[in-house]
Structure 1
Amino acid sequence: MVTEKIIKVHAPATVANMVCGFDILGFAVKEPYDEMWIRLTEQPGITIINKDDYQLPAEPEKNVAGAALLAMLEELTQPVGFELTIRKHIKPGSGVGSSAASSAGAVVAANTLLNGVFSKEDLVRFAMNGEKLASGVKHADNIAPCIYGGVTLIRSIHPLDIVALTAPPLFVTIVHPQIEVRTADARSILKKQVYLKDAIKQWGNIAGLVSGLLQSDYALIGRSLEDVLIEPVRSILIPGFNTVKQKSREAGALGGGISGSGPSIFMLSKDEATAIAVEKVMQDEYQQLGLDHHTYVTTIHSSGVEIIKA
């Protein structure tokens, strides 16, 4: 059952929702990513060692990676112990799937040690326990792309039904203003009811976006990157959001919006030169606002969690 004693993985950041696809669409990016090491121990149970300055809990039941591994252990037929070391480069509360990277990275690494006894769908199911700990809700729009790579559609949670989508080459520009927006808080402000006309418009945008990805139709992708339900509410939590979005489009971006629950903002572009121009727009806006920020110019990551040493 066991193949190796210790392995290392890179667990990538992810962009959830993809503007109109709240809780059902997401994609993985090549940068940033968390580093994680896992080894088997003689003593059953889970030990977590944090190698960063975020002061995250080391108790497995209070740590998202630990919660994911505990769910996995419940379905193993023999007692197993893991020692998990985490060095996070994806800041918690950044909106680019920090909790998903920890949860997904842990179960992919553990499953590799166990010679792949669980399917990718199983791993998503386990990792969703980490998301529940972080946000109070079992959602998979960060978890699925982190494990599957590329762009994923969560057709259903109950039962779990994940569809991997093909996509044309896309460059991704991300800005992370150095403020924190907790996922649970960002969910709490959402409307509980929506108008039918808004729902119909949203469905059209989701269908258009998926069709644009599958057909490599950049114009259709751009037209479909519109959110009439979630963004109008959540954008008030992010300083400079409307200006960044408008000026990014003027710089040539196809479109974009809030990454996950924010505060990060992402924009998609057809080429690297445009993505770099969009980065300059983002930097200029937050410099004018006097708000510290980090930016990334990257691409969609086709493979998700990577086994670095196995």
Structure 2
Amino acid sequence: MKIIVPATSANLGAGFDSIGIAVNLYLTVEILGISNSWYIEHDLGENIPTDERNLLLTTLTEVLSVKNVVLSEKYHLKMTSEIPLARGLGSSSSVIIAGIELANQLAQLNLTIDDKLELATQIEGHPDNVAPALLGNLVIATTSNHHTDAVCAQFPASKLLAFVPNYELKTMDSRKVLPEQLTYKEAVSASSIANVLTANLLTGDLLSAGKIMERDRFHEPYRANLVPELAILRKIGRAHGAYGTYLSGAGPTIMMLCADEVLSVLTEQIHQDKQLTGQLYSLEIDKIGLKTEH
């Protein structure tokens, strides 16, 4: 059996810790067979554990503990991933969703979508990445009192360009630069921008959504110095017809939304800029989210 989970891109500017999309890069976990001990075969680097310390298996263990279930067998697994690690494309969230589904399948828990979302948010801490990884498409979600409310919607037709710099930026480090509090006036302003962004996305107005996502006041102004490529790519995007450019998750990946007809010129301009060192991915929205294949 295979468990397949998409990458995600969170925040979309002002939708901080609340809005995310699923994109077509994938984590795949295969159950190869019963084993004497847990073993995860992967080629993700020597820093990624192959035993019970792996996030996949710590997630599985947490789910089984919550459900008060003990597995009688251990398994040999294979994990492959197209998702760059620690780059703001939901690599850890994809593993969490895969771990929940692995527990669901092996222990026959019969978890509902809501069950999986609650567990994922509890483990991850906020829903902006785990929700679209689970549900696909565009998801707007919030968590309070240990309950997550999520709205899944079709993302307006567009292309996505993800620029992935050649360095990691851990979420913990990226969060350290954020303010502990905002003034009431600033919070109202930031929230109103997020509200209009959400309305534009749900009505399919990417032209307006792209403009207002660049006016975020929750996190991008504080993280911009950590990711100098954001200003460079935003300038390219504005000059060559992108709808909008934003910091994907905690960064350092920068995501650009654009129409199909400007994709090639944006790609060319990015490749020509000598200040930009990294990988460029042309992506589309994943509309399915978590899936299994037998």
Same fold (TM over 0.5): yes
* 1:72 aligned residue (37, 40, 63): 63
Structure 2 equivalent of residue 57 of structure 1: 49
How far did residue 92 of structure 1 move? 1.6
C-alpha separation in 2, matches of 1:266 and 1:290 = 14
How far did residue 107 of structure 1 move? 2.0
Number of equivalent positions: 289
Structure 2 equivalent of residue 196 of structure 1: 184
Please list, as runs of the form range in 1=range in 2, the aligned pairs for 1:159-198 lying within 5 A after superposition. Answer: 159-198=147-186
* 1:90 aligned residue (83, 96, 117): 83
Give 3-state SS (helix, strand or coil) of 1:58's partner. coil
Structure 1 equivalent of residue 245 of structure 2: 256
Structure 2 equivalent of residue 4 of structure 1: none
Structure 1 equivalent of residue 275 of structure 2: 289
1:153·1:164 contact (CA, 8 Å) conserved in 2?
Answer: yes
C-alpha separation in 1, matches of 2:194 and 2:276 = 35
Deviations 1:53-94 (A, max 9, x none): 42202343x322222211221244543245332122212211
C-alpha separation in 2, matches of 1:86 and 1:129 = 23
* 2:28 aligned residue (30, 35, 58): 35
1:165·1:213 contact (CA, 8 Å) conserved in 2?
Answer: no
With structure 2 as the length reference, what TM-score do the two structures score?
A: 0.89
C-alpha separation in 1, matches of 2:90 and 2:269 = 23
1:147·1:304 contact (CA, 8 Å) conserved in 2?
Answer: yes
Give 3-state SS (helix, strand or coil) of 1:263's partner. coil
- Flag structure 1 segments of 5+ consecutive residues without an equivalent: 1-6, 132-137
Sort the Cα spacing of 1:28 and 1:73 in 2 relative to 1 into closer, same or farther, 3 A: same
How far did residue 218 of structure 1 move? 2.3
How far did residue 129 of structure 1 move? 5.7
Deviations 1:234-257 (A, max 9, x none): 111113220111211221111121
Deviates more, 1:259-268 or 1:229-238: 229-238
2:229·2:276 contact (CA, 8 Å) conserved in 1?
Answer: no
Deviates more, 1:77-86 or 1:90-99: 77-86
Structure 1 equivalent of residue 12 of structure 2: 18
C-alpha separation in 2, matches of 1:179 and 1:165 = 32
Give 3-state SS (helix, strand or coil) of 1:278's partner. helix
Instruction: Give aligned-pair identity as a percent.
Output: 26
Deviates more, 1:247-256 or 1:162-171: 162-171
Please list, as runs of the form range in 1=range in 2, the aligned pairs for 1:289-308 lying within 5 A after superposition. Answer: 289=275, 291=277, 293-307=278-292
Give the aligned residue type for 2:11.
N
Deviations 1:193-241 (A, max 9, x none): 1133332222122111221122112233123212122101111111322
How far did residue 277 of structure 1 move? 2.7
How far did residue 126 of structure 1 move? 2.9
Structure 2 equivalent of residue 104 of structure 1: 97
Matched, 1:142 2:129: yes
Give 3-state SS (helix, strand or coil) of 2:147's partner. coil
C-alpha separation in 2, matches of 1:95 and 1:29 = 12
Deviations 1:13-42 (A, max 9, x none): 100111111111101001x21221136748
2:26·2:82 contact (CA, 8 Å) conserved in 1?
Answer: yes
2:127·2:143 contact (CA, 8 Å) conserved in 1?
Answer: no
Give the aligned residue type for 2:242.
A
1:48·1:66 contact (CA, 8 Å) conserved in 2?
Answer: no
Sort the Cα spacing of 1:143 and 1:276 in 2 relative to 1 into closer, same or farther, 3 A: farther
Deviates more, 1:152-161 or 1:173-182: 152-161
1:71·1:129 contact (CA, 8 Å) conserved in 2?
Answer: no
How far did residue 130 of structure 1 move? 5.2
